[in-house]
Amino acid sequence: MQRGISTHIFLQQRLTPTLLDSLAAGGAAAVEVFAARHHFDYTDREAVRELAGWFRSNPVAASLHMPLFEDDVPWTKHAAPTLNLISSNKGTRIETMDEVKRALEAAELVPFSSCVIHLGLKDEPWDTRALDDSLTAIEHLKAFASPLGVKLLLENLTNEVATPEHLMEIVTVGHFTNVGFCLDVGHAHLGQSLPETKDAPARSALELAFASFAPVADRVAELHLHDNRGVRDEHLWPGEGSIDWAAVAQHVATLPAEMIGVMEIAYELGEDAAAVTERVRAAWERVEL
């Protein structure tokens, strides 16, 4: 597993070369850029050129996370995502698609190899409409991203649509053989476990998630690594929650060695770049058991 980190940890700040330097100093061989206009303004060509220049000058791979927030919605640490590719409202679906395409256009200059995609918001139900809208969204974005050299990665979430099982169904029905996956360890930990029965031992939600993706292990291009206490999506540093990281390490050993493990940590106001560098190094020591 290659070491990576998301710029999500600096989400309250404008992304600068200095902040990227601190992530590279922490040992990151890959950086996932979180697309939020107040953080990385992908509509500003100067900001895009600055980011492209940094990646050209540093031996660090680049990936992108799709935007989740509308630009005109006041953003705070506790703001819930507003952009939804599979909203029941057609206008919202179109607006979200357009915004994701704007972010993907940055790949004309920045060497993004992949883009993580969210299907639905919290509590999104799984039904025929959700399946159809997911197929449409992926088909359109794939057609836009492929000429830019960007591969779409579908991420498991905590809604009914983006469970590992339903993501597998979506790519199967859509015959999306060149669409990959991002397995989010923190989200998987919040899923449903299976209790022990007379015929089978108990299985944790995390174990079930890895098992679901096992048939397509070669298409799991990224892991999102963060911790929580099993109740809500906290994006804590590994070791601060209740995830069994020794078990995670065992599962990771079955995945392709070139896969990128991305630390996706919630930011703290006024987070010091030098302190983040040290915490990243310590977190990798915990994860790579």
- Per residue in 61-70, pLDDT (tens digit) is 999 999 999 8
123 vs 173 pLDDT, higher one: 173
In this structure, CATH architecture of domain 2-287: Alpha-Beta Barrel (3.20)
User: What pLDDT shows up at residue 72?
Assistant: 59
What's residue 77's pLDDT?
A: 58
Confidence of residue 272 (pLDDT cuts 50, 70, 90): confident
Q: What confidence tier does 114 reach under pLDDT thresholds 50, 70, 90?
A: very high
Lowest model confidence (mean pLDDT) among 162-171, 215-224, 249-258:
249-258
Nearest to 119 by CA among 103, 105, 104, 132: 132
Closest CA to 157 of 189, 198, 129, 132: 189
106: which residues sit within 8 A by CB, 6+ positions away? Answer: 35, 42, 48, 51, 64, 112
Give per-residue pLDDT as tens, 74-103: 556 556 789 999 999 999 999 999 999 999
Confidence of residue 289 (pLDDT cuts 50, 70, 90): low
Q: Determine the average pLDDT of the residues in 256-263.
A: 94
Averaged pLDDT for residues 5-10: 96
Which pLDDT value is given to residue 76? 60
The pair of three-digit structure tokens given for residue 206, joined into one six-digit string: 């995390």
pLDDT digits (tens, 9 = 90+) for 182-239: 999 999 999 989 888 888 889 999 999 999 999 999 999 999 999 999 999 999 999 9
Q: Percent of the chain having pLDDT more than 90?
A: 83
Section 98-125 average pLDDT: 97
pLDDT at res. 71: 77
d(CA 273, CA 21): 9
Residue with tokens 């995609």: 117
Q: What's residue 269's pLDDT?
A: 65
Q: Mean pLDDT throughout 245-249?
A: 93
CB distance 2 to 31 below 8 Å: no
End-to-end Cα, the chain, rounded Å: 12
Q: Which residue has the higher pLDDT, 173 or 281?
A: 173
Mean pLDDT, the chain, rounded, equals 94
Which residues touch 68 (CB under 8 Å, ≥6 apart)? 36, 81, 82, 83, 118
252-256: average pLDDT: 90
> In the predicted model, is pLDDT for residue 11 greater than 60?
yes
**Does residue 151 have a pLDDT over 60?**
yes
